[in-house]
Amino acid sequence: MRDCPRYGASTETLVHALKGCLIARAILTLGGLDGRLLTKDYLYCIDWIEDVMRILEKKAEDEARVIWEKAKTLIQDFQIHNLVNKPVLPLTPALKKWEKSPCETVKINFDATVFNNKTGFGMIVCDSNGFVISGGGRFKNEEMTTEWVELYAFEEGIKIARSLNSANAILEADCASLVNRFKNCKEDITIIGYCTKVTFKMLEMFSTAIVKWANRSCNKVVDFMCKYAILNNCNA
């Protein structure tokens, strides 16, 4: 041990180098260490290190507790998994059911399913009073993407509607991507986009024709017909 040439300590010990040196003291202060660690005298360096570790562990524990309390507060604020209090962000109930079509307009609901390397599709045609006037389900012993099968079901639905001499039609599907293709078919340059354009021209046979997206809960019947056709290998 010798005198500290920079800060004038009578003996330059390890404890002095760690906490007595002004630069080390400034760094420790910025690190948030307790003031007692900088002012208390320690005979051995290990005693100072043990105190530092205890304070750091307590600090980490306190920070973890703060994070936990904040999480609990957020849970209470937003009523997550809390069925006792009224939620801060109340759910807006939406009515989801099959709806009748306007007068002198048929509604065609269609759907498709791919399962076990087989594809099935179904369609159902209802008049403005909600009565089923036609429909059916078919399957193909080949695997296709859902969009292609939905497009095929769409074409079959149009043919059925035309066979009934319907002038006005609403076509509903729960395949959002296919409905979007019909909405933007002029800008789609893919192969399925081209086929969508060709199918879309078939709607010109009607006086009015609307393609709409339907919630899956409104398409349960045709969904059942798709699965039934696949499981029983039948066309109806």
Mean pLDDT of the chain: 73
Residue 2 confidence (pLDDT): 47
Give yes or no: residues 13 and 86 share one domain.
yes
Give yes or no: residues 114 and 164 share one domain.
yes
Give yes or no: residues 228 and 116 share one domain.
yes
Domain end residue (candidates: 93, 116, 137): 93
Q: How far apart are CA 29 and CA 179, in angstroms?
A: 64
Burial of 24 (0-12, 13-18, 19+ CB in 10 A): middle
* 98 located within any domain: no
Task: Tell me if 111 sits within 8 A of 222, measured CB to CB.
Answer: yes
pLDDT for 5 beyond 60: no
CA 129-162-127 angle, 5° bins: 5
Domain end residue (candidates: 32, 66, 93): 93
- Strands (E) across the chain are located at 106-115, 118-126, 132-140, 168-173, 208-213
Give yes or no: residues 128 and 72 share one domain.
no
**What pLDDT digit, counting tens, does each position of 80-128 carry?**
555 566 655 566 666 666 677 778 888 888 888 887 778 888 888 888 8
Q: How far apart are CA 213 and CA 174, in angstroms?
A: 6
Tell me how far the alpha carbon of residue 157 is from its chain's centroid: 31
Domain that holds residue 198: 106-232
Give the confidence band of 1 by pLDDT, cuts at 50, 70, 90.
Answer: very low
* 169 located within any domain: yes
CATH number for the domain harbouring residue 183:
3.30.420.10
**Is the pTM of the predicted complex or chain greater than 0.75?**
no
Task: Please indicate whether residue 205 or residue 187 has the higher confidence score (pLDDT).
Answer: 205
* 62 located within any domain: yes
**What pLDDT digit, counting tens, does each position of 143-157 carry?**
777 788 888 888 888
Domain end residue (candidates: 93, 115, 133): 93
Mean pLDDT to the nearest integer, 37-63:
70
pLDDT for 210 beyond 70: yes
Residue 95 confidence (pLDDT): 63
Tell me how far the alpha carbon of residue 215 is from its chain's centroid: 16
3-state SS class at 161? helix
Place of tokens 């005693």: 47
